[in-house]
Chain A
């Protein structure tokens, strides 16, 4: 994986109004398949910086290099066709159907009909919209969230190695936004594009970005991975922008799997109660996690709540929902721990096989690093 996109001392000065530098000597490198979120307060130059990459805005000085080629030497139109572009207002063409909208760039690139049809079909599947149902409908018939997915699909239609996204989820309500973000990350796992993602929302930047590029008044303040930016903010501005709760924000960056301990107190539910009682006293715990013979979670036994008539563990098991899959974020894990009385959380895999358990202490240790 080599450097895909490289900005070298890129500067933009708008004529007039005191020659204020909208973007001042911005430099960073981006590896192939990485998402870089450009974030900062309004007027910090993040959108300007992004638009210089596909030359919607001209560069005053400096160089932008894509895949080893200086973009100032490329034909503007061809350059833009090789870069996916998704904007906040989506900008679907209302006079064209969904299928036609997605096919705009392939048509400009003069692909043949069959290839375009196949591409449209596949992209609609990728963004989770049924091609047969949606292909021939018009943008106005779709909800905002659906339109935004089409916008993303359209941006990817020309198979661009690089995509520029300007607050693509900005106009969508929080619930749908979260959903689209997750979906987009899933899509990104499949397609592995190099993405420059502009947002003003630090949470979104942390969630989406492999790298965060924090700008202020056109200057680059810090370019780092989310983890580093949250743990080692370069100065007070970064710390402020990341927010007082930046430690909590870091919880989003880790999975439950990373923090959990893999020695949970497990007992097979086919064992006798005697075995369970022995185990209780042996490891000095109040709860045991009951599993079946395949190791899948069936429930929990409370030491103080074993019915007198019970002979097997099975008879004493109470079902529980204090569990999460190992891919969940630590934030969800913490919240889940606090919503139950056990003091810990069971971590399972997709087949509900018990992998480990998680305490608040484990989280604390993970955050310490």
Chain B
């Protein structure tokens, strides 16, 4: 690779990028000179090798002999003929329109990132990660026709990588940030393009032509690749730029073929799209069960935690009982709830039907949530510095004042951590509640299992995982918010 390395005009030594002062001779650098270096390391070689592999594998369906065939609707010859004829229906149906949109947009983005975005220069690029990406993309491609596990594994792997990449861009100053936003919007736009517009006609033919769906994208990718490689070779200022661009390219392909394709064409996201209303109804039901159980658990758990702090004799018993409660398998717990609550129901009025559905689910969940909340409250209150409490007592504070002004504020973050555990656990356990008619996202799983619809099962699982993740993030924020400012400050060093 030809790389231009900035050098100090005075001492002719290499400079870090964008530096205004030479760190060798300490002179301010006004006119940076560049030295062109031909660098060819193992990563470059590996990259080229894999690029060739990917290219070959992408275009495999056209070999051998079908390259110029008119029977293959996607052969370049056929495409060219259709273009010349302005066969709009064909172009739309095979997503050529999107290709035409993608090429300039994508090129423009990469152009921005490579040599206008002067912040994007100094990342130590994780070369190994790139290699892994390319490797997996090859395997993904090979196994794409087999579907299943490989695709999903790759999809999750790359969604992580994608976020990492966006974050890297985001850290690189304004232009990097803009390009990361644009790239993100681009991916989203491509998702929605599929969901609502171009897909309708297109998918009708998908069963016949397996590769047709992704073809437009690969074409766009190839052209972008060439454009960007040109730009890179002439304007790149460091090897990191090069890797960054390659990563962007490779990643966009991978993200597309692993995320967008399996999710929307046939996967669980299509399930969501088809069952949008039902999804929201069950999501609301799920949140309601967990939410009510949580409120009950906090309202009982925190006072119990406070009580056992002051009565050490009770502490052992209470913690022991709640430990036992949490070991009961959830399906058994729901089983216990039904006869118990039915008995109560019969003794009460016999018609409210609390033995089945939401009520036993809420009761069981609040019992499960009790342990993390009681234990954390107990531990938190115990860990407040006894000297501080004694100082408060000595100053004439009542127990209640001490609790409100000192112990609870100091314990709040730890109690909140207990609530977090309880919520995440509750969201998972509530899935089982679908079996006793409480509804919730678990319904997708249980119904999917009964009817052997994989997408329903996976969609339910994904929705619950996302709910748990979002709830956890939200509660982590709440934990931070509830932590007294005085505790967040670092100790003064003397």
Binding site for B on A (CB under 8 A): 51, 54, 56, 77-83, 85, 87-97, 104-105, 108, 138-144, 151, 154, 158, 164
Contacts and interface: CB of A to CB of B under 8 A. Distances in A.
B394 A78 contact: no
B459 to A, nearest CB: 45
B388 A96 contact: no
A149 to B, nearest CB: 14
B410 A87 contact: no
B492 interface: yes
Nearest to B394: A85
Given A91-B388, A93-B405, A85 B486 contact: no
A105 B388 CA distance: 14
A9 B491 CA distance: 45
Contact of B486 (A56, A80, A81, A140): A140
Contacts of B71: none
Contacts of B387: 87-91
Given A89-B385, A95-B410, A108-B401, A164 B490 contact: no
Contacts of A95: 406, 409-410, 484-487
A87 B391 contact: yes
A56 B406 contact: no
Nearest to A86: B391
Contact of A141 (B389, B409, B492): B492
Given A85-B395, A108-B401, A140-B487, 15 more contacts: A56-B390, A77-B398, A80-B395, A81-B396, A87-B391, A90-B391, A93-B388, A93-B406, A95-B487, A104-B392, A104-B397, A105-B395, A108-B397, A140-B490, A143-B492
Interface residues of B, number: 27
- A-B pairs, 9 with minimum CB distance: A91-B391, A80-B396, A81-B396, A85-B394, A89-B387, A95-B484, A138-B486, A95-B409, A143-B494
B391 to A, nearest CB: 3
A104 B484 contact: no
Contacts of A79: 396
Contacts of B393: 56, 80
Interface of B: 385, 387-398, 401, 405-406, 409-410, 484-487, 489-492, 494
Contact of B396 (A88, A91, A108, A139): A108
Contacts, number: 92
A94 B390 contact: no
Nearest to B494: A143
A187 B484 CA distance: 32
Query: Interface majority SS on B: helix, strand, loop or mixed?
Result: helix
A164 B486 CA distance: 27
Given A108-B401, A138-B486, A139-B486, A93 B392 contact: yes
Contacts of A89: 385, 387-388, 391
A358 to B, nearest CB: 38
A174 B258 CA distance: 68
A144 to B, nearest CB: 7
A91 B406 CA distance: 11
Nearest to A137: B489
A77 B401 CA distance: 11
Contact of B494 (A78, A108, A138, A144): A144
Contacts of B491: 140
Contacts of A139: 486
B381 to A, nearest CB: 14
B380 to A, nearest CB: 13
Contacts of A80: 393-396
A324 to B, nearest CB: 31
9 contacts: A77-B396, A82-B396, A85-B394, A91-B390, A96-B486, A108-B401, A140-B487, A143-B494, A151-B391
Contact of B390 (A77, A87, A142, A151): A87
Give the most central of B391, B393, B398, B485: most A CB within 10 Å. Answer: B391
Nearest to B493: A143
A99 B485 CA distance: 14
A80 to B, nearest CB: 3
A165 to B, nearest CB: 11
Contacts of B494: 143-144
Contacts of B492: 140-143
A108 B406 CA distance: 14
A77 B387 CA distance: 18
A92 B489 contact: no
Give the most central of A56, A79, A93: most B CB within 10 Å. Answer: A93
Nearest to A97: B486
A111 to B, nearest CB: 14
A89 B385 CA distance: 10
A56 B410 CA distance: 23
Given A87-B387, A108-B401, A143-B492, A81 B484 contact: no
A138 B485 contact: yes
B482 to A, nearest CB: 11
A181 to B, nearest CB: 19
A94 B395 contact: no
A203 B308 CA distance: 44
Nearest to A176: B494
Contacts of B401: 108
Contact of A54 (B385, B394, B486): B394
A266 to B, nearest CB: 46
Contacts of B394: 51, 54, 56, 80, 83, 85, 87, 164
A79 B397 CA distance: 11
Contacts of B489: 138, 140-141
Contacts of A142: 492
Nearest to A138: B486
A94 B486 contact: yes
A78 B385 contact: no
Contacts of B485: 95, 138
Given A87-B387, A143-B494, A81 B395 contact: yes
Contacts of B486: 93-97, 138-140
B444 to A, nearest CB: 44
Give the most central of B388, B484, B487, B490: most A CB within 10 Å. Answer: B388
Nearest to A139: B486
Nearest to B410: A95
Give the most central of A80, A87, A94, A140: most B CB within 10 Å. Answer: A94
A112 to B, nearest CB: 19
Contacts of A54: 394
A96 B397 CA distance: 15
A280 to B, nearest CB: 53
Nearest to A94: B486
Contacts of A82: 396
Contacts of A154: 395
B406 to A, nearest CB: 5
A54 B393 CA distance: 10
Contacts of A90: 387, 391
A205 B40 CA distance: 78
Give the most central of B486, B487, B494: most A CB within 10 Å. Answer: B486
Contact of B410 (A51, A94, A138, A151): A94
A29 B353 CA distance: 75
A144 B493 CA distance: 10
A95 B393 CA distance: 17
